[in-house]
Amino acid sequence: ADRFGITVTYLAPDKAVYLSIVEGLARQHGLAIDTPTLHRRALEWEVWNNGRSGRTARQFIDHLIGELALRV
């Protein structure tokens, strides 16, 4: 960024936006998990994994996909 004289800032989404991202990703992957549980687990995940972001939401969903696959 310094090379071009610009700064790109990424702001963390608020709680509602973060959960909306999580819901969308879960829906895309066809995950069978109830919304209150999905929200609770997503919020727990973001506390322990670098805060709220699109990347954190994606990592949570990837983790959840693996966890659910092991239960089958």
pLDDT in tens, the chain (72 residues): 567 788 878 888 999 999 999 999 999 999 989 999 999 999 999 999 989 999 999 999 999 999 988 886
For residue 27, the enclosing domain spans: 12-71
Let me know if residue 26 belongs to a domain.
yes
The single-letter code of the amino acid at 37 is T
Identify the pLDDT of residue 71: 81
Say how many domains are in the chain. Answer: 1
CA distance linking residue 12 with residue 23, whole number of Å: 17
Let me know if residue 28 belongs to a domain.
yes
